[in-house]
Amino acid sequence: MKGLRARFKSRKKLVLPLTSLLDMFTIILVFLMVSFQAEDKDFVLHAGLSLPVSDAKSPFKTGVNLALTQEAVLIEGKKVFKLEKGGEVKDEDFDGGRIESVVQGINQAWAQLKKEEDEENIVVIQADKGLPYRTIHLVMRSAAHAGVFRFRLVIEKE
Amino acid sequence: MEFSRFRAAREEVGVNLIPVMNLFVTLIPFLLLAAAFYHVGVIPTSLPSQTDETSDIAADPKSVTINLLIEPELIQISASSAVLGEEALAALSAELKKTPQGFDLDMLAKALYEIKRRFDKSDTVIVLPTDRVPYQDVIQILDRTREYTLNPDTPQEKKVPLFPVVVLSRKV
């Protein structure tokens, strides 16, 4: 009798209780599917800035990425111009309606970007919400000297 | 014979979850890579243009271009048009003073909605902030120039487009 019981025990299958794990995976999967974005955006959010909050719903469009932090202007991640304290631009740095290093930076970025012939020049501006408007406008004016008149102001959706 | 009956009664019938788990383990890293935890959008804008072919100033009797002068303590609304007279345009002007609670942006949206009702082909706003205005304030004001909510918080709530074309300039 003892031998039979031992044989019976050894034939029992070891089954892992996967139901609770599956429940957890289902919740994670649903959450990730909601957050999923299928568009391929050639856009990297700069870590050193805090975007303004807005309810704008316009779709994203790629272009030259320009970041304006409290310390500097960066084009495609490369620092091209240092800002003064509080994100200010000194009057002497703003020569003839433009910041020369920003104009050059945008021209170089356009030269490196592979563009279709009919594609419009667009600069995508991610600027810190605490910056004074003057700084943003001076950078946009400089972009205009590089032949760019259309911009996309990046915002954090509400 | 007796033992096989006993064994059959004791065996649990379970669904084989291993293939489902395999699928989940594959899907989750893929979705994690593509997930956006920080939702960004854009506001399309441009600099003012004045050429022989194009102008930001409205040239249609049913449309006007709104000029929004933003100062730290005041917002001035005015309109411009290539065809309307000075008197008609002056009647559209308004001012909003900053209160201790900030600008009354609902009032701004309402004033713009009244202009849009009269000139329904209008779609352009030229924004002229002064140097010291913080960027976040400009964005908040732009949000209220884009659309107006009729009958908010009621079943009849409706969003009406106002001036979605934004031209950014600067008041010197």
Whether pLDDT at A84 is above 60: yes
Dihedral sign of CA atoms A72, A75, A77, A78 in order: negative
Instruction: Find how far residue A16's CA is from the centre of its chain.
Output: 42
**B114-142 pLDDT, tens digit each:** 999 999 999 999 999 998 899 999 999 99
Q: Do B133 and A132 touch (CB under 8 A)?
A: yes
pLDDT number for residue A121? 82
Q: Which residues pair with A124 in a beta bridge?
A: A65, A152
d(CA A3, CA A22): 38
Higher pLDDT, B5 or A17: A17
Q: How far is CA B89 from CA B68, B80, B129, in A?
A: 14, 7, 21
Whether pLDDT at B35 is above 60: yes
Classified as helix, coil or strand, B52 is: coil
pLDDT number for residue A17? 78
Which residue is associated with the tokens 């911009």? A151
Whether pLDDT at A139 is above 80: yes
d(CA B143, CA B125): 12
One-character DSSP codes across B118-172: HSTT--EEEEEE-TTSBHHHHHHHHHHHHEEEESTTSTT-EEEE---EEEE----
Minimal Cβ distance to B34: which of A37, A55, A141: A37
**A94-114 pLDDT, tens digit each:** 777 788 999 999 988 888 876
Nearest to B58 by CA among B35, B77, B83, B34: B83
Q: Do A52 and B139 touch (CB under 8 A)?
A: yes
* Lowest mean per-residue pLDDT among A5-19, A104-118, B90-104, B114-128: A5-19
What residues in B contact A83, CB-CB < 8 Å?
Answer: none
Over pLDDT 70: what percentage of chain B?
87
Q: Where are the alpha helices (DSSP H) in A18-85?
A: 19-35
Mean pLDDT over residues B57-70, rounded?
A: 86
- B115: contact with A, CB 8 A cutoff: no
Q: Do A51 and B40 touch (CB under 8 A)?
A: yes
What is the value of ipTM here, to two decimals? 0.77
- Confidence bin at B12 (pLDDT 50/70/90): low
d(CA A91, CA A145): 18
Q: Do A25 and B28 touch (CB under 8 A)?
A: yes
Q: Do A144 and B47 touch (CB under 8 A)?
A: yes
For residue A112, what is the enclosing H or E element? helix A100-112
Q: Is A156 in contact with A141 (CB distance < 8 Å)?
A: no
pLDDT number for residue B165? 92
B165-168/B124-129 β-pairing: parallel
- Those residues whose C-beta lies under 8 Å from the C-beta of residue A76, and which sit 6 or more positions away, are A64, A65, A109, A112
- Confidence bin at B39 (pLDDT 50/70/90): confident
What residues in A contact B28, CB-CB < 8 Å?
Answer: 25, 28-29, 32
- Confidence bin at B105 (pLDDT 50/70/90): very high
- B37: contact with A, CB 8 A cutoff: yes
d(CA B31, CA B19): 18
* Lowest mean per-residue pLDDT among B1-5, B42-46, B108-112: B1-5
Mean pLDDT over residues B59-75, rounded?
A: 89
Q: Do B12 and A29 touch (CB under 8 A)?
A: no
Over pLDDT 90: what percentage of chain B?
41
Domains detected in chain A: 2-35 (no CATH), 53-157 (3.30.420)
- Confidence bin at B29 (pLDDT 50/70/90): confident
What residues in B contact A62, CB-CB < 8 Å?
Answer: none
pLDDT number for residue A38? 60
What residues in A contact B40, CB-CB < 8 Å?
Answer: 43, 45, 51, 60, 154-157
pLDDT number for residue A3? 58
Minimal Cβ distance to B135: which of A4, A36, A136: A136
Task: Locate B37 and state its tokens.
Answer: 């935890």
For the entire predicted model, the pTM comes to 0.78
What residues in B contact A26, CB-CB < 8 Å?
Answer: 24
- B9: contact with A, CB 8 A cutoff: no
The residue type found at B90 is A
Q: Is B113 in contact with B90 (CB distance < 8 Å)?
A: no
A122-127/A150-157 β-pairing: parallel
pLDDT number for residue A140? 93
Q: What is chain A's mean pLDDT, rounded? A: 82
Nearest to B47 by CA among A151, A94, A65, A17: A151
